[in-house]
Amino acid sequence: MQNPLLERAIEICKQKKIRFTPIRQRVFLLMAEQKGAVSAYDLLELLKKHDANAKPPTIYRALDFLLENHFIHRIESLNAYLMCSHFGCEHPMQLLICDSCHKIIGLTDPVIDDAFSEQAKQSGFQITNKVLEAHGICYNCLYN
Ligand SMILES: [Zn+2]
Ligand SMILES: [Zn+2]
């Protein structure tokens, strides 16, 4: 029985006519099995259990592919990656990162996103990479 997320990803790639190679699928599966954010280094260690010859470029190329196709997100402030719950489509993203339990809440408010872009535009600034991340303590960690 295949992973249902992987099946959907394979279907999306088929529709878009993009090559979803076995190594990309393997890294996708490893990402899908993670509860939260995972670093490239940790992924490489996991990948080595399947392919002892896996090298950092292997994992970075696969991660780039998954990023480009909006299957995962990069968390800049943690230097880590997160499975996208919206999957396969681009969307605005604001992250709330709990520094206590490492839970990550993904917000997708287009109003925040547009306001930020608009302010940049008014400053004559051309955004090439937009990162909205906040660190703090989540509700559970605060009150339990
Ligand atoms: Zn997403
Ligand atoms: Zn927490």
- For the chain, domain boundaries: 4-83, 94-143
Output the DSSP codes for 61-104. Answer: HHHHHHHHTTSEEEEGGGTEEEE-SS-SS----EEEEETTT--E
How much is the pLDDT for 88?
75
pLDDT for res 89: 81
* Sign of the C-alpha dihedral computed for residues 1, 37, 129 and 26 taken in this order: negative
Whether residue 80 has pLDDT greater than 70: yes
67 alpha carbon, closest ligand:
1
Q: Measured between alpha carbons, how far is 29 from 69 in angstroms, rounded to an integer?
A: 15
Q: How far is the CA of 44 from the centre of ligand 1 (A)?
A: 22
CATH number of 4-83: 1.10.10.10
pLDDT tens digits, one per residue of 96-124: 999 999 999 999 999 999 999 999 999 99
Q: Say which ligand is closest to the CA of 72.
A: 1
Measured in Å, residue 36 CA sits from the centre of ligand 2 at 12
Strand partners, 95: 106, 133
Question: Fold for domain 94-143?
Answer: Dna Ligase; domain 1 (3.30.1490)
Does position 143 have pLDDT exceeding 80, yes or no?
yes
Tell me the C-alpha distance between 117 and 125, whole Å: 9
Q: What distance in angstroms lies between residue 88's CA and the mean position of ligand 1's atoms?
A: 8
- Residue 1 binned pLDDT confidence (cut-offs 50, 70, 90): low
- Give the pairing of strands 80-83 and 104-107: unpaired
CA of 59 to the centre of ligand 2 (A): 29
